[in-house]
Chain A
Amino acid sequence: MSATAKPLANTRNGTGIPTARLITWWVIASEIVIFGGLLASYVMHRIGHPEWAEAASHTNTWAGAFNTFVLLTSSLCAVLAHKAADAHDGPRAAKLLRLTSLGGLIFLCVKGFEWTADIHEGFVLSSGGFWSFYYTLAGLHGLHVLAGMIIMLIVAADAAKNEELQRVECIGLYWHFVDIVWIFLFPLLYIAR
């Protein structure tokens, strides 16, 4: 590799945006279509089936609200980690990223308790249209939370050594998007009845 060779993809900046951030935006764009399609399908079916209101009344609004609070708080930690990374304070960024991950873990635990209660009451994936959408939407979102947590812990391990700090913002962008998806899932699944 010569001295004039291009830097690694995550430090290249051919479009005015560092490539790592550019890729994150593309991921978010594709996620908009994935979650948007599912949400749009749910909304049109929900409007077509007013009787789903009865099924929706069994979801636990307080658990949903608590999880919204947890995700909003974890988003705050993620953006503060970005601020710390901008100040080249890797150890602080790592600490905040781990706190963000902890928020994700709390979110998933609450979801686990909630689903256990639903299943004990007899509401499973095949219990009806509403429950199919409920488990699919919340399940897909939960998988994104889990993926974000794992990636965040990997990024935090490097950030703690003041390495690859540009990744802190990228994982933060992804996490905020996951937060936005939940901001819409909460009223759709827990409030609109």
Chain B
Amino acid sequence: MTTEAQAQPHVQHPNYVKVWAILVALLVVSVAGSMTHIREVVLVAAFGVAVVKAYLVAKNFMHITVEKRWVPYLLIVCLLFVFILFAGVAPDVMRHSGLHWTNPSANQASQPAGEGAKRE
């Protein structure tokens, strides 16, 4: 047990303004991408860029790469739990019918406007 770690900075500070400029440039890319209205471009510009931005913030602002190894492991385990939740629940939520079940209210909600009226 020591207080030495506190007295000495544990990180080398990079050029934060440069990192911020890159983040703002990526924000411009994601907004510009969304204006193309091309599905693939929008998805990559939105979510691909979001992952890169999150990595840049975690690496440069949170200094996660110079933190004790088990800290990123801890965060990855928590993310893993989220993926387990997604994998376990998504098949029931994303689909509205299966082998022995249907979700009529979800089906009804997903119908394009006017389709229900036509059937009636």
Contacts and interface: CB of A to CB of B under 8 A. Distances in A.
B114 interface: no
Interface string A1-31: 0000011000111111110000001101110
Contact of B93 (A30, A44, A79): A44
Contact of B13 (A12, A86, A187): A86
A15 B17 CA distance: 32
**How many interface residues does chain A have, given as a range?**
35 or more
A16 B24 CA distance: 34
Interface string A70-94: 0011011011101100100000000
A33 B78 contact: yes
Interface string B1-38: 11111100101010011011001100100110010000
B27 A61 contact: no
A69 to B, nearest CB: 6
Interface string A166-183: 100000110011011001
29 contacts: A6-B1, A13-B3, A16-B68, A17-B68, A28-B75, A29-B74, A29-B75, A29-B78, A40-B86, A40-B89, A40-B90, A44-B89, A49-B106, A49-B109, A51-B112, A65-B27, A72-B24, A75-B20, A76-B16, A82-B13, A176-B58, A179-B57, A180-B58, A183-B53, A187-B46, A187-B47, A187-B49, A192-B42, A192-B43
Interface of A: 6-7, 11-18, 25-26, 28-30, 32-33, 36-37, 39-41, 43-45, 47-51, 61, 65, 68-69, 72-73, 75-76, 78-80, 82-83, 86, 129, 166, 172-173, 176-177, 179-180, 183-184, 186-187, 191-193
